[in-house]
Amino acid sequence: MAVARVLDPQPQQVNINSNYDAHPAGVQITDGQPVKFNNNSGSAISITFAPTAITNRRVFNDIQNLPSGQSVTESPLVMDVTVNYEVWWNLQNYGPFAIEVGTGPLEISVTNGIPSPQRGAIPQNGEIQFNATDQQCSLGWSPTNPTNPPLTAVYVGQASNPVATVQGNLGQVSTYSLNTQAPVKAHKVQGGGGGTIKVT
């Protein structure tokens, strides 16, 4: 009887060019698939990964001082989530760029109508999920709502907020605004802010 061998997935290649851009800028990998970062920039760089905004998980370890012409391979620490990262050179940051591990959203946490992160990136047909930490707020999009199902409000509690697919072509940037509703008799100023989602 033959024994089937399970082959480890080949690393997803990400090349950092002389403009400190990642190519491809947005990738989707399987759960557990490593990513190989190739520094073709001509300078030493660092790569920093944002923790997930709602669940505060580290998806990849940061890469410090990667020499030009060198590569490093990282495996995801968690599954089914999208992470954003930036390339740093001489105190200047470039990005954000995106890696979707398995099938999972980029998390956006909202407090007093202010999102974190304010600039997000997702791979094509990637997903997002909002979550309010303090109060519900309305969610408006410009120029059109790219989400399916359409997201028009952010609720308190992760379980109350659906995961939505962002539809759009590579390079498309969707701007959104958030507005909280203060109680009628309260002496609070209405809060709110906004951000962008880029399809990378």
C-alpha distances in Å from residue 31, one per residue of 12, 80, 101, 139: 12, 7, 6, 31
Q: What share of the chain is helix, strand, coil (3-state, %, to 5)?
A: 0, 50, 50
Q: Burial-class residue 185 by CB neighbours within 10 Å (0-12, 13-18, 19+).
A: exposed
The span from the CA of 39 to the CA of 72, in Å, is: 9
The answer to whether the CB of 132 falls within 8 A of the CB of 155 is yes
Query: Quick check: do 12-101 and 106-199 share a fold?
Result: yes
Domain borders along the chain are 12-101, 106-199
**Fold held by 106-199:** Immunoglobulin-like (2.60.40)
**pTM of the predicted model as reported, rounded to 2 decimal places:** 0.90
C-alpha distances in Å from residue 191, one per residue of 5, 110, 123, 177: 56, 11, 30, 11
**Nearest Cα residue to 158 out of 57, 26, 50, 27:** 57
pLDDT for 144 equals 94
The span from the CA of 61 to the CA of 123, in Å, is: 20
**Fold held by 12-101:** Immunoglobulin-like (2.60.40)
Q: For every one of its 200 residues, what pLDDT tens digit does the chain have, with 9 covering 90 and above?
A: 555 555 678 999 999 999 999 999 999 999 999 999 999 999 999 999 999 999 999 999 999 999 999 999 999 999 999 999 999 999 999 999 999 999 999 999 999 999 999 999 999 999 999 999 999 999 999 999 999 999 999 999 999 999 999 999 999 999 999 998 755 444 444 567 999 999 99
The conformation of residue 156, written as its DSSP 8-state character, comes to B
Q: Which two tokens stand for residue 86?
A: 């930036």
The pLDDT tens digits of the residues spanning 31-74 come to 999 999 999 999 999 999 999 999 999 999 999 999 999 999 99
